Amino acid sequence: MPLKTFTSILFLFLLIAAPAFGTVVVNSPSNGEIVSTNVLYSANSSTNTCKKGVASMGVYIDRTLVHVVNGTILNVSLPVSAGNHKTVVQEWDYCGGSTFIPIDITVSLQAGVHIASPVANSTITSIANYIATATSNCPKGIAAMGIYVNNQLVHVENGYKLNTQLTLSPGKQHTVVEEWDLCGGASYSSVDLNVINPGTTLSNLQASGGWNGWGEFAPKYDICAAPCPELDWSLAQHINTPSLSGNATRFSINGKKSYSDVLWSNPVIGQYSTQHLPDDNHSLLPGLHNFTYDSYFYVTNASITQVLEFDISMYMNGSGMIWGTQCNNLGGKEWDIWDNVNGAWVSTGAACNLIDNAWNHVTLHAQRDSSNTLLYQSITLNGVTSNINWTYLPFSVPTSWWGITLNYQMDGNKKQDPNVTYLDNFSFTYW
């Protein structure tokens, strides 16, 4: 293949999207949560490859298996010492398979409101991501938590934890997170914020030049540049119907090999930039920490749509960061995210319910911190927001890789039925 094409494929370090065979959904605790010494673990699991089903579930705390229960449902309170702990909820099926979800927690002995996000006195855009938990000396527990903005109560959630997004007006904002316990007590923590407008938006990316497509073959999902045996795909731009803008793009896949996928990618910033943003002096990328992937997509046949994937990939100073997000439609109708270090999809437990034969709207919010740790903030589908707030470490790439690419992928089903989807009003915002 041409050197440029080969280099482009290496640069993308393409995300491998295999069907999810086992699922663990953890309802409590949340990743990164601050909890009291008795930690409630509530989870359920399933498998779509082992006909005998799930045999058991268990909890590891700091690599030690501390609790096992038979069946698909886990619901237990476990004593955990104060401090930071790495825990794991795992399922084992009757066929020798296993799936797990890592959950990092901090156990606090102090009563009060513990706010993980946003950071007090920080500068944010109009969307404030609130993540907080409460601990209390009341033996009956916490009744509810709420958020005040400039002395106005604007949001309340039952229970001892809070996870939501609020749209705040630009300027200085005084906010308070408060808890009310079942003994009549209350406590709060203040979070003052400086709210600014979002950054730069690249619009109508579905109609941009520079889209490239590659096939991926099960079970290893090796990359194949066209022509590929037993797998065909096409991309057609400037489609009037169906379209919201009159300028949609049609994506299609078909073939004979089960569960084969096609990934389309567009390098928007850095090497091979299609948006005139090559960042040759490497001054743009280091200052970017916030990203929004926003697109409308049309599903023509949800019954054969295995997975639809929406990714942001960033490569800088030897670090690879892929915010991989997929709607696992036929594998549980849940959102999965990509664990960069372990190279595996992880179910978030958040529902992904596609509207068939119609336009759907997805918005992904993501961040990276100063150490290049990835934060999956939230996924919004058709107006329903799932606050994820999970973090993953980056992986290593050659230092010559530099840029941001945006991906869209369609996964074939077991029969590899021909399938068509459309993208429209696709934008990417960064700051």
Backbone phi and psi for residue 94, each to the nearest 5 degrees, phi listed first: -75, -5
Tokens of 181: 């316990």
CA distances from 22 to 1, 48, 101 (A): 37, 6, 11
pLDDT, position 21:
55
Report how far Cα 30 is from the mean position of its chain's Cα atoms.
14
pLDDT of residue 223: 86
pLDDT at 302: 97
d(CA 270, CA 159): 45
pLDDT (tens digit per residue) in 137-163: 888 889 999 999 999 999 999 998 898
Burial 291-301 (b: 16+ CB within 10 A, else e): bbbbbbbbbbe
Which domains does the chain show, CATH number per domain?
37-107 (2.60.40.10), 112-195 (2.60.40.10), 200-430 (2.60.120.200)
Stretches where the chain sits below pLDDT 70 are 1-21
Beta strands in 271-333 (DSSP E): 290-299, 307-316, 319-328
pLDDT tens, residue by residue, 21-63 = 578 888 889 888 888 777 889 998 888 788 899 999 999 999 9
Residue 161: per-residue pLDDT: 87
pTM across the whole model: 0.65
Q: What is the pLDDT of residue 167?
A: 82
The SS3 call for residue 269 is: strand
